[in-house]
Amino acid sequence: MSPSFLILYRYYSIKENGLTIIVIYGIFATGCNFMHTKSNKKIHTIEDIARLAGVSKSTVSRALSNSPLINEQTREKICAIAKEHNFQINIPARRLSMRQSNTIAYVTHAYCTLFSVADLFTLELMSGITSALYDNGYDLLLVAVDPYDNSWASKHLEAGKADGFILMTSTRKQHHIKLLAEMGAPFIAWGVPHPKYRYCTVTGDNFTGGKLATEHLIKRGRTCIGFLGGPAEELEVQHRYDGYTHALQEAGMTPDPALVVNSEFSGSSAGQAMRTLLARNAALDAVFVNSDMMAVAAMNVLREADKRIPEDVAVVGYDNLSIAEQATPPLTTVSQNIYLAGRLLAQNLLQYLKTQAITHVTVPVELVVRQSA
């Protein structure tokens, strides 16, 4: 560092024996550099950075968070000071001061005899969710809730455990949507939006999916086509059923209530529903099943009943999970881009937290033909 010099002059006057005397004195200094002086005082807080940069604490906070509200010159100045003093933001303290956890809760059902969180759809969807959350500096909290518990949402929000919810319950979902919407909780749900409430959704094109599956079975010459659906109160199940009936009617076939059975989205429940379909319909030659996990269970029941797949009964599933290709025989299914759906669930919820914008996104579907139909 090159030396610099400073001379400060002062003067005063006195009168002595009729004469005015001017007295001049000065201070001479070396080794000063007024362009930048590094303080030996250790930097502990954002307030210390603000003092050195000559800005407010909020400006420092925004600059260190790469806020677009701060111009590039100011941001670079603040970041340079922080780097010089090895300053790092205390993330837990920052989140606490902002009442922000930077955590999103993935809400699913608790374990019981009918269903479990250990299903492939959840795992494949979560891969997309965690990818998008990681990109935005958020963590994921898995919350398993009792379908009849009404207190879980307020407990997590009041305790600061989560900033918002991704609702993935497959039992009493409409009840939980009503609960979250009425309390004003930030959330997004997988499935068709309920027209009564304002909240974000991501869903597949369920009507088209049901129509594609049924049309494929009709083209294969099947005339007694069953519908093995998820919970009847779920809107996405209703839309898949609408696609199923639409395809039948277009082909000049009349939908038969005896060919329709609903169950939970689980293997054990679907297996029992498949037994009911067989008992009701001796001529059953095809079935459209509302999930791949349910379809695998249904095929097990068909084999137990000495039914050949697809020769005696053709089977079409839904989702195109990794298990579909490994099934025996490999499962024809309606494909949803589950990874993309997961990313959209996370991204659109984070967007809602920032802007309060309500979004509804429909993920396209396609039929993947394999050996089961």
N- to C-terminal Cα separation, the chain = 80
Q: Is 198 helix (H, G, I), strand (E, B) or coil?
A: coil
> Is residue 329 located within the same domain as residue 291?
yes
The reply to whether 32 falls in a domain is no
Instruction: Note whether residue 41 is domain-resident.
Output: no
pLDDT at 90: 56
Report the amino acid identity of residue 262. Answer: N
pLDDT score, position 67: 67
In this predicted model, what pLDDT tens digit does every residue of 96-146 receive, in sequence order? 444 567 899 999 876 554 444 446 788 889 999 999 999 999 999 988 887
User: Phi-psi category of 189—alpha, beta or left, where left has phi over 0 and alpha has psi -120 to 50?
Assistant: beta
Evaluate whether residue 9 is within a structural domain: no
pTM, whole model, 2 decimals? 0.67
Provide the greatest CA pair distance for the chain.
Answer: 135
What digits encode the pLDDT tens for the residues 295-332?
A: 999 999 999 999 999 999 999 999 999 899 999 999 99
Asked whether residue 314 falls in the same domain as residue 327, the answer is: yes
Question: Under DSSP, is residue 51 helix (H, G, I), strand (E, B) or coil?
Answer: helix
**Same-domain pairing of 228 and 268:** yes
Share of the chain above pLDDT 90, in %: 50
DSSP string for residues in 89-158: --HHHHHHHTT---EEEEEEEPP-SS--S--HHHHHHHHHHHHHHHHTT-EEEEEEE-TT-SSHHHHHHH
Statement to judge: residues 147 and 268 lie in one domain: no
Q: Are residues 345 and 200 in the same domain?
A: yes
Report the domain count for the chain.
3
309 and 345 fall within a common domain: no
Residue 251: which region, alpha, beta or left (left: phi > 0; alpha: psi -120 to 50)?
Answer: alpha
pLDDT per residue over 30-58, tens digit each?
A: 333 333 334 445 676 888 888 898 998 87
Do residues 331 and 345 share a domain? Answer: no
Residue 45: the pLDDT is 80
Note whether 196 and 216 are same-domain residues. no
Domain assignment present for 200:
yes
Residue 122, domain CATH: 3.40.50.2300
Q: Helix 72-84 to helix 46-53 angle, to the nearest 10 degrees?
A: 120
Task: Based on the fold, state whether residues 110 and 155 are members of the same structural domain.
Answer: yes
Domain, as residue range, for 327: 207-336
Task: Give the mean pLDDT of 166-181.
Answer: 83
| Residues 25, 145: Cα–Cα separation, whole Å | 81
Is residue 23 one of the residues assigned to a domain? Answer: no
253 pLDDT band, cuts 50/70/90, is very high
What is the average pLDDT score of the chain? 83
Residues 320 and 221 in one domain: yes
Share of the chain above pLDDT 70, in %: 80
pLDDT band at residue 175, thresholds of 50, 70 and 90? confident
- Asked if 119 and 195 sit in the same domain, the reply is yes
Helix (H, G, I), strand (E, B) or coil at 236: helix
Instruction: Kindly state whether residues 317 and 216 are assigned to the same domain.
Output: yes
Domain boundary among 67, 97, 127: 97
Is pLDDT at 257 greater than 90 in this prediction? yes
